[in-house]
Copies of this chain bind each other. A is one copy, B any other.
Amino acid sequence: MALIVQKYGGTSVASPERIQAVAERVIRTRKAGDQVVVVLSAMSGETDRLLALAHRVSPKPDERELDLLLSTGERVTIALLAMALRERGYAARSFTGRQVGIVTDDVHTRARIERVAADRVRDALAEDVIPVVAGFQGINEKSDVTTLGRGGSDTTAVALAAALKADRCDIYTDVDGVYTTDPNIVPTASRLDKISYEEMLEMASLGAKVLQTRSVEFAMKYLVPVRVLSSFTDAPTGTLVTKEDRDMEQVVVSGVTYDRNQAKITLLGVPDRPGIAARLFGGIAKEDIIVDMIIQNISQEGLTDISFTVPRADAKKAVSLVSTLVREIGANDVQLTEDIAKVSIVGVGMRSHSGVAATMFETLAREGINIMMISTSEIKISCVVDAKYTELAVRALHEAFELGTPA
| CB < 8 Å neighbour of A58 from B53, B54, B87 | B87
The answer to whether A78 and B68 have CB atoms under 8 Å apart is yes
Is A249 an interface residue, CB under 8 A from the partner? no
This chain: how many copies in the complex?
Answer: 2
| CB < 8 Å neighbour of A96 from B16, B50, B68 | B68
The answer to whether B75 and A68 have CB atoms under 8 Å apart is yes
Name the interface residues of A51-85: CB closer than 8 Å to any CB of B: 53-54, 56-59, 61-62, 64-66, 68-69, 71-72, 75-76, 78-84
Is A94 an interface residue, CB under 8 A from the partner? yes
The answer to whether B96 and A57 have CB atoms under 8 Å apart is no
Is A99 an interface residue, CB under 8 A from the partner? yes
A interface secondary structure, majority: helix
The answer to whether B83 and A57 have CB atoms under 8 Å apart is yes
| CB < 8 Å neighbour of A66 from B50, B79, B96, B99 | B79
The answer to whether B79 and A65 have CB atoms under 8 Å apart is yes
A87 to chain B, nearest CB (A): 4
| CB < 8 Å neighbour of A62 from B54, B83, B145 | B83
| CB < 8 Å neighbour of A16 from B57, B59, B84, B143 | B57
Known: A16-B53, A80-B53, A99-B143. A86 touches B69 (CB 8 A): no
The answer to whether B83 and A61 have CB atoms under 8 Å apart is yes
Is A315 an interface residue, CB under 8 A from the partner? no
- List of B residues within 8 angstroms of A68 by Cβ: 75, 78-79, 94, 96
Is A173 an interface residue, CB under 8 A from the partner? no
- List of B residues within 8 angstroms of A81 by Cβ: 57
The interface size of chain A toward B, counting residues with CB under 8 Å, comes to 40
Is A19 an interface residue, CB under 8 A from the partner? yes
CA distance A385 to B143 in the complex (A): 52
- List of B residues within 8 angstroms of A146 by Cβ: none
Most buried by B among A79, A80, A145: A79
Name the interface residues of A74-133: CB closer than 8 Å to any CB of B: 75-76, 78-84, 86-87, 93-94, 96, 98-99
- List of B residues within 8 angstroms of A6 by Cβ: none
- List 11 interface pairs A-B (beta carbons < 8 Å), by A numbering: A17-B56, A20-B57, A53-B80, A54-B83, A57-B84, A58-B86, A64-B94, A65-B82, A65-B94, A71-B75, A72-B72
Which of A's residues lie within 8 Å of B, judged by CB?
16-17, 19-20, 23, 50, 53-54, 56-59, 61-62, 64-66, 68-69, 71-72, 75-76, 78-84, 86-87, 93-94, 96, 98-99, 143-145
